[in-house]
Chains A and B, each alone.
Chain A
Amino acid sequence: MNTAVEKRKINPYLTHKAEILKIFKETEVEYTFRLESDFNLNFGQFLEVSIPGYGEAPISVSNFTDEWLELTIRKVGKLTDKIHELQEGDHLYLRGPYGNGFKLENYRDKNIIVAAGGTGLAPVRSLIEYANNNLDDFSDFEVLAGFKNAQSLLFERDIKRWRENFDVLLTVDQTCDIWGECVGLITEHIAELHLDNIENTEIIVVGPPPMMKYSIIEFQKLGVPDDQIWVSYERKMHCGLGKCGHCKIEDSYVCVDGPVYNYADVKEIKD
């Protein structure tokens, strides 16, 4: 029996207790928690994650298989402080999955460029992992990942693995301290990309709002049409069910209609 699914049918607000199988310390403030899972997940979806008594927060699933899922959680408040105290063998309480996620059919057989800023890499990591294992599903696959500095680098072990199969360009805003690699804002590197086959290219941009805004401008300058750009938005998704209203932008509920949008549909949307 799929207990997470069954529980959701009875009452979508009730949570599913999941054991922490492994904890990866990504940075000082960001840990990845691998949890047992029987959720049916799509790339880029999120869960409502909680510890009873400490509240609930929307967290992107940063990778998953049929047996486990991973959540990359930054320590920023009451709940996440408590989560960071947990050890392997402890439990988190989950409900979901929520949101549309990245639908593979939009990217299959295309040249894919993923531009991710900081923790924006988390919601696309499962798609990148899929590409790493199924490179034939794409015509080409490339990742540009921007971080503030070496201390904020996420998924170091993955990036090394991915590089065996496709290009992963790392940029660092402030210094030149990640593996002695390139320096500068992600936008500068987008400008230098050579896109041979734009009509068969799909771009995925995820990160902090300013990074997304300026990255999109650079892709537009390269001639990428808006409807070939995909974004994932972060908002305050309190219920995940399209009820609580906190994540609504115009007539769209990010928790239901998003968080992944085709940029052509949302380029004029205003919070």
Chain B
Amino acid sequence: MNMNLQNDIEDFVSDNEKLIDKWGKRNPRFEKKYEDSVMRVLSTYGQKVTEFTETKGKILGPGYEPYIIAFFIGLYSNKRIPLSENTDDCKVLGQPLSKWGHGETKQQKNGRTDSSLYFRHTYPKLVNYIFISLVAKTDVDWIALDKGDIKVSSVITALINTMEEYANYGFSVMEDKLHSDPGYFFSHRSFLDIFLQLTNKQNIEEEGEEPEDL
């Protein structure tokens, strides 16, 4: 609620702001059930900085990282699942989109048994591509927007919805994988393999293939 209000104010006060920047101020939602089954398993989501010992054994850093992965799984599978309509079932990610990939150059302990330290780089540009894909995949009357016939906030909400639905599908895939094999993602190739197979031209052409075939 507050979030929407805030966005409205933003619309009002900085009219020349770019669409991507307005969008960047938003925090997408995800279904609460994935918090424990996926987010906390794979990332440091929900951990305080001081919980240092817990960070080892995590494959990913902040909560937006599993979110990005979930989103791209949905995007490349071209499958969406709408979020539960009950707002109590959903949770908002703490970091607004514009902050994604700014995760500082910190060292993170990787989940591999050799527990070697990895140096992380920032990847702020990635959100631009997410934005581009949302524009490509969201049905918006852009002419009406430019004409001022519809509100920017409604367009941004539509974009965010697309994002949430793709991610929601991605989370369901990840949850399934973890359910059948809790160690599935602890192989250093598991995520890469998922994406390599998802983006294999053949797979894309033969749409409708089950994600289990990943």
Do these two chains really belong together in a complex? no
Which A residues form the contact surface with B (CB < 8 A)?
A: none
Where the two chains meet, the residues of B that have a C-beta atom closer than 8 Å to any C-beta of A are: none
